[in-house]
Chains A and B, each alone.
Chain A
Amino acid sequence: MKRSCGLALISSTLALCAAAPVSASAAQPGDPPDGISKIETVVVIFAENRAFDNLYGHFPGAEGIDKASPESLQQRDRDGSVLSELPPVWDGLTAKGVTPPVTQAMTEHLPNAPFTVNDAKGFNVPLNVITHDLWHRYYQNQMQINGGKNDMFVAWGDSGAMPMSNWDTSKGDMWAVAQKYVLADHFFMGGFGGSFFNHQWLICACAPYYADADKNPAKPSIAVTDASGTALKVADNSPKSARDGIPKFVSDGNLTPDFYAVNTMQPPYQPSGNDPAPGGDPRLADPGKPTTLPPQTEPTIGDMLSLKHVSWAWYSGAWQYTLEHGNHTPIPNFQYHHQPFNYYANFAPGTEARHEHLRDAGLGGVSFIQAIDDGVLPQVSFYKPQGNLNEHSGYADIQAGDHHIADVVAHLEKSPQWPHMLVVVTYDENGGIWDHVAPPKGDRWGPGTRIPAIIISPFAKHGYVDHTPYDTTSILRFITERFELPVLHGIVVRDKAVAAHGEPPLGDLTGGLDLN
């Protein structure tokens, strides 16, 4: 992997740069990839909660379910034995209110194997139906991955057979986009667990921190782990078998024992799930609530872009609507913890940075689409679809998000900025859903389970499946190299950890591009 080193913050990186001989005629280690400056506009679209095999498990040329070993297709019980059958989907496969429902009883006695939800010979649930959500949490994700065997997704989930579900999306809009451009089939979520944590990894490559958590109301949210430090301590009254019920833990909290926030906490600023303190600043969330995360101060990719005077914005669907009218379900179902910059002091209410960079994408993304059509996107844009369009299990279906994101891509293809554009469509995390490929061994925080990623650009290798190993921080790698930014510390740590495990380096997305 190549790496910009012009302004690297890390002393070891600086030393490497200084030691490298300089040649005007040949690329050197550390140089940005040739031709990378042809990309002038970067757009990142961040959908929700789908594993690679869940949507693209049968994509031609990709490492999908068809290529999985028989062992990797089987789930094990909590004692390590192979399950004779999958447990039922507790409380049913379809979301509350769906008619006709797929009840728990209808999911009894499924074979111990993946199953396709919209299989006409099976449950025959179409892509526009909302289904049961699944645990997608930091420690459970590591327990489910089980050292890369991926055979404990059912055992350490809360939804019975549901982790083994997948969909035939071959008629979907984004499938066609993936066929036209590049599907990355070894792209992994940057951090273990859920949306809160993986949005942090998208912008910061870091774990948020809650100082002195043991001395304030957040104390009961500190997780209790076993001796490994990577798994929760199982409670004495936990069902012994996955067939008998959902596991119980001594403390399944949001904070690690050393106070890093790894599961969902609320932003300290509105819009937040937590109201302002009584009589307090209405722009803030009540800091006395145990789920309010204190403002964060780690550098983000936004800070790095601003440092180099590169224009950028986080476009959030229904942001202004929620600020003005409050949230509503099922539409827009704004998600507070999907707005990562809203956790950072540098983007606090009243700051110029917030006004400039945290933008309303409008209801249904209309303002973002208008910016696309007008050709006025900043050099780097992140787009977060509103809740009902993000494909998250439990409250959103796949089809609505698939249509919406494909529509956004269609607008991007027609934008005046398209000739020099790179678009990455990916998911924040796997949503608790099984995938058969072992994640690269990295650092304490990830990478986690494999997720879909589609690389779209006039410079994309059209009709290509890119097998390069990537994770969410690969997006940051590309942005860092393209705009010659200081390297975020978490990326340096991740790269060293991956190398120490003898894993191939994580790429910078240029494996899917032809820039020459």
Chain B
Amino acid sequence: MDADRIVALVTAGGIELTDRRRNASNDGWSLSFANGATVEVGDDGSARIGGKGAKAVARLLDPPAAPRNA
């Protein structure tokens, strides 16, 4: 799942994107959302969800089905 797809699915659920930037290692995107969730999206399609709102974001993303580092 790429960053655009994740943003589309999460924002459709009423959780606004608050920050999007390339990560420090320049191999993916760091996304932040209004509920406090963060998603690290690799250019290889991997995704790690964290932050306060991780569970709510995980429910909107399928896959991944559950937070991996919440």
Q: Which residues of A contact B (CB under 8 A)?
A: 90-91, 95-97, 132-133, 135, 158-159, 194, 220-221, 246, 254, 263-266, 272-275, 289-291, 326-327, 329, 333, 335-337, 392-396
Q: Which residues of A contact B55 (CB under 8 A)?
A: 329
A-B contact pairs, 6 of them (CB 8 A): A96-B60, A158-B8, A266-B18, A273-B34, A273-B53, A291-B18
B12 adjacent to A254 (CB under 8 Å): no
Closest Cβ neighbor of A289 among chain B residues: B32
Q: Which residues of A contact B35 (CB under 8 A)?
A: 273, 327, 329, 335-336
Q: Which residues of A contact B60 (CB under 8 A)?
A: 96
B18 adjacent to A133 (CB under 8 Å): no
Contacts of B45-68 to chain A: CB distance below 8 A? 51-53, 55-56, 59-60, 62
Over the window 6-19 of chain B, the binary record of Cβ atoms lying under 8 Å from chain A Cβ atoms (1 yes, 0 no) is 00110111111011
Count chain B CB atoms within 10 A of each CB in A159, A194, A329 and give the residue with the most: A329
A-B residue pair count with CB separations less than 8 angstroms: 90
Q: Which residues of B contact A (CB under 8 A)?
A: 4, 8-9, 11-16, 18-21, 32-36, 51-53, 55-56, 59-60, 62
> Closest CB-CB distance, A264 to chain B, in whole Å?
5
A265 adjacent to B8 (CB under 8 Å): no
A394 adjacent to B12 (CB under 8 Å): yes
B19 adjacent to A335 (CB under 8 Å): no
With A290-B32, A329-B59 given, name 14 new contacts (CB 8 A). A95-B14, A96-B9, A96-B60, A133-B12, A159-B12, A194-B16, A273-B36, A273-B51, A273-B53, A275-B51, A290-B19, A327-B53, A336-B34, A395-B15
A395 adjacent to B14 (CB under 8 Å): yes
Q: Which residues of B contact A220 (CB under 8 A)?
A: 19-21
Residues A132 and B36 in contact in the complex (CB < 8 Å), given A273-B51, A273-B52: no
> Closest CB-CB distance, A139 to chain B, in whole Å?
14
Q: Which residues of B contact A273 (CB under 8 A)?
A: 18, 33-36, 51-53
B14 adjacent to A329 (CB under 8 Å): no
A275-B60 Cα distance, complex, nearest whole Å: 22
A298-B25 Cα distance, complex, nearest whole Å: 38
A265-B36 Cα distance, complex, nearest whole Å: 10
B8 adjacent to A396 (CB under 8 Å): no
A337-B15 Cα distance, complex, nearest whole Å: 11
A263-B12 Cα distance, complex, nearest whole Å: 17
Q: B13: which of A96, A335, A337 is its contact (CB, 8 Å)?
A: A96
A194-B16 Cα distance, complex, nearest whole Å: 10
Q: Which residues of B contact A266 (CB under 8 A)?
A: 18, 34, 36
A275 adjacent to B12 (CB under 8 Å): no
A22-B46 Cα distance, complex, nearest whole Å: 73
